[in-house]
Amino acid sequence: MGREIKFEIFRYNPEKKGKVPHMQTYTLDETPNMTLFIALNRLREEQDPSLIFDFCCRAGICGACAMVINGRPGLACQTKTKDQPTNITLHPLPVFKLVGDLSVDTGVWFREMYDKTESWVHTSKTFDPTKKEERMDDKVANQIYELERCIECGCCVSACGTARLRDDFMGAAALNRIARFVVDPRDERSDDQYFEIIGNDNGIFGCMGLLACEDVCPKGLPLQDQLGFLRRKMGITAIKEIFRKK
Ligand code: SF4
Ligand code: SF4
Ligand code: FES
């Protein structure tokens, strides 16, 4: 017989007036290979239809099911209950706007950050659909592909002490996104232009470098390398600027 799992789940629906945030306890028999996705769906179907949480892909691709699992941000669909103790505590991701219970709105945050960081290829070339595609060096293409694997789940942002203290901090996901354009040869922005965007306390100089972001990233993105790369690049740009002014 499987274990009996006790779930302590954060409950609060900001839409419902008069309600206060609280923890609610549920129990469920563990089945083989049970994920938190399966457990939460069973709880909603069998015990409490009012439970709010998000899922789309169930395959670690959409990022919708991120939540704080026993104190650590992670993807519910990729978390097996057998790897957790019999008491499982679930909270919504901090930093993002709470929709209800375990559901947060990461979309607005990511859109704002991507607007701030001008997250698109800046080029003076006009797109000509009849022209042959330009070749890109394999190494660079792979580097861009690696950084594009972010699923925008928000785990790194929720684990980040700076992002939790300051809502204008870009966080590892947005800084990683900038690194993706810095290495892209099609983007014509200069270091000075990147400095304008991230060379400040809301950007790379606000990062404390303790790397909780990389520890929790479910896709294993090399955030540490990217933050170090940007810090060095922007540091050099700042020094050059000081000498230019002299
Ligand atoms: S290394 Fe920087 S971005 Fe990552 S968690 Fe720490 S402060 Fe946040
Ligand atoms: S960098 Fe990793 S943890 Fe952060 S949003 Fe992207 S996939 Fe999620
Ligand atoms: S449901 Fe898509 S990542 Fe978990």
Residues 201 and 228 in one domain: yes
Q: What is the total count of domains within the chain?
A: 2
Residues 125 and 240 in one domain: yes
pLDDT over 90 at 163, yes or no = yes
Residues 100 and 125 in one domain: no
Residues 232 and 175 in one domain: yes
Alpha-carbon span 177 to 148, nearest angstrom: 8
pLDDT of residue 2: 79
Q: Is residue 177 part of a domain?
A: yes
Alpha-carbon span 211 to 227, nearest angstrom: 9
Residues 53 and 154 in one domain: no
pLDDT over 70 at 12, yes or no = yes
Residues 19 and 64 in one domain: yes
- Dump pLDDT digits (tens) for 205-229: 999 988 899 999 999 999 999 999 9
Nearest CA to ligand 2 atom 7: 150
Q: How far is the CA of 38 from the centre of ligand 3 (A)?
A: 12
pLDDT of residue 188: 96
Domain of 78: which CATH number?
Answer: 3.10.20.30
Residues 43 and 159 in one domain: no
Q: Is residue 8 part of a domain?
A: yes
Tokens representing residue 205 in the block: 């100089």
- Dump pLDDT digits (tens) for 135-148: 999 999 999 999 99
Q: Is residue 110 part of a domain?
A: no
46-50, 124-128, 173-177: least confident range? 124-128
Mutate to test the pocket of ligand 3, among 58, 152, 216, 219 (most ligand atoms within 8 A of CB): 58
Alpha-carbon span 216 to 73, nearest angstrom: 6
Residues 92 and 138 in one domain: no
pLDDT of residue 1: 67
Does the beta carbon of 95 sit less than 6 angstroms from any atom of ligand 2?
A: no
pLDDT of residue 245: 72
Give the DSSP letter of residue 65.
T
Residues 128 and 72 in one domain: no
**Non-local CB neighbours of 84 within 8 Å, separated by 6+ positions:** 5, 69, 70
Q: How far is the CA of 155 from the centre of ligand 3 (A)?
A: 12
Residues 83 and 123 in one domain: no
The pLDDT of 106-131, averaged and rounded, is 93
pLDDT of residue 246: 67
- Dump pLDDT digits (tens) for 223-246: 999 999 999 999 999 888 788 776
Tokens representing residue 94 in the block: 């901090």
pLDDT of residue 210: 84
Exposed (0-12), middle (13-18) or buried (19+): which is 148, by Cβ within 10 Å? exposed
Mean pLDDT computed over every residue of the chain:
94
Q: How far is the CA of 16 from the centre of ligand 2 (A)?
A: 31
Residues 126 and 59 in one domain: no
- Dump pLDDT digits (tens) for 39-93: 999 999 999 999 999 999 999 999 999 999 999 999 999 999 999 999 999 999 9
Domain of 169: which CATH number?
Answer: 1.10.1060.10
Whether 88 contacts 46, CB under 8 Å: no
Whether 93 contacts 106, CB under 8 Å: yes
Exposed (0-12), middle (13-18) or buried (19+): which is 39, by Cβ within 10 Å? buried
Q: Is residue 109 part of a domain?
A: no
Does the beta carbon of 93 sit less than 6 angstroms from any atom of ligand 2?
A: no
Q: What atom of ligand 1 comes closest to residue 175's alpha carbon? A: 3
Q: CA 230 → CA 42, 75, 109, 224, distances in Å?
A: 44, 27, 22, 10
Domain around 39: 4-104
Residues 241 and 121 in one domain: yes
- Dump pLDDT digits (tens) for 86-116: 999 999 999 999 999 999 999 999 999 999 9
- Dump pLDDT digits (tens) for 15-28: 988 889 999 999 99
